[in-house]
Amino acid sequence: MSIASYSEYSQMILKAREGNYAYPAINVTSTSTANAALEAFAEKKSDGIIQVSTGGGEFASGQMTKDAVLGAISLAQHVRLMAEKFNIKVALHTDHCPPKKVDSFLIPLIEETERRRAAGLPNLFSSHMFDGSELPLNENLKIAKTLHERCTKSEMILEVEAGVVGGEEDGVNNEDTPAEKLYTTSEDMLSVQKELGSIGIYLFAATFGNVHGVYKPGNVKLKPSILKEGQQAVISQFGPESELNLVFHGGSGSSLQEIHETLNYGVVKMNIDTDTQYAYTRSVVDFMLKNYDQVLKVEGEVGNKKFYDPRAWMKKAETSMKERIMQACDDLKSSGKSLGL
């Protein structure tokens, strides 16, 4: 199959919400990590989302270039080519673009899709995220509305966020965020739907105590009931057809019970980054420690090219990351539910 079209992506979201499951959204930074995600989705017969952050795009472009837009385009093109080999549907997404990077990252990527559409080519990305959570809600929604209208016009879905996800990710540190800002209110959710609901389908990252990074059990105080109460308020005011398509950020370390509870309240997308980073790196460390005298030229020896060839340990890393994503498909109940089945 291939990258999901706008109508297919919309159908994916609707099916997930109605079926109480969600799609793993995997941050990638290289062709290697992108391949791990595609293979995991294919093996689990799960559709999924592959996403690129500003930092991921910058890394993918190389340490001399450091061009987040160019790196994001490169990764998107790779995923588009490789997705044709797998019998699943994949959506391409950009993750967490703050207000200060809208003009330098988000707008150039939207313009790239607009150029492609004018030339009769498919969209580059399926969706984009504007993270205006650092702004007062009225300013956040003013920018979000303009972006949502522009994205919808070119058949792309916008993800927005209200409330702050704690912790640190991709160079953005919210570890000192006041506790009350970690929880989106029902009033916030009503405001988001009022401003964006009539334009077209969108994704909404409402926060309920979620935190980026890894924390020991008990340190993250999730309140999934916030999602339930917010959905009830939205449906009560705007009708059942206005139920929000929610996104779970900062889910690393959350219990399976908490994850499953959020699926009942409209979560259709869960971002997974920290756990896949660890899975990728953990296997490399294991390989290096077990083969120390093979990957290094120790005490005048020459080592073993078969071991220090980067492909040897990158294959291990890809497999480990793939296995973690496959677990995510099971945890989020998306396994075996691809549109292609």
Catalytically annotated residues? 95
Helix axes 310-331 and 31-44, enclosed angle (nearest 10):
40
Q: What SS3 class is residue 20?
A: coil
Tell me which amino acid residue 315 is.
K
DSSP conformation class of 121: P
In the structure encoding, which two tokens stand for residue 341, read together? 């089945």
> Cα separations (Å) of 202 from 28, 126, 157?
22, 12, 5
Question: Are 11 and 338 within 8 A, CB to CB?
Answer: no
Q: What SS3 class is residue 267?
A: strand
d(CA 227, CA 212): 18
Dmax (CA) of the chain: 75
Cβ neighbour number for residue 77 with a 10 Å cutoff: 12
Q: Starting from the edge strand earliest in sequence, which strands make up the sheet with 211-212, in order?
A: 172-173, 166-169, 211-212
Question: Are 287 and 316 within 8 A, CB to CB?
Answer: yes
With CA atoms as reference, report the closest residue to 15 among 259, 333, 278.
333
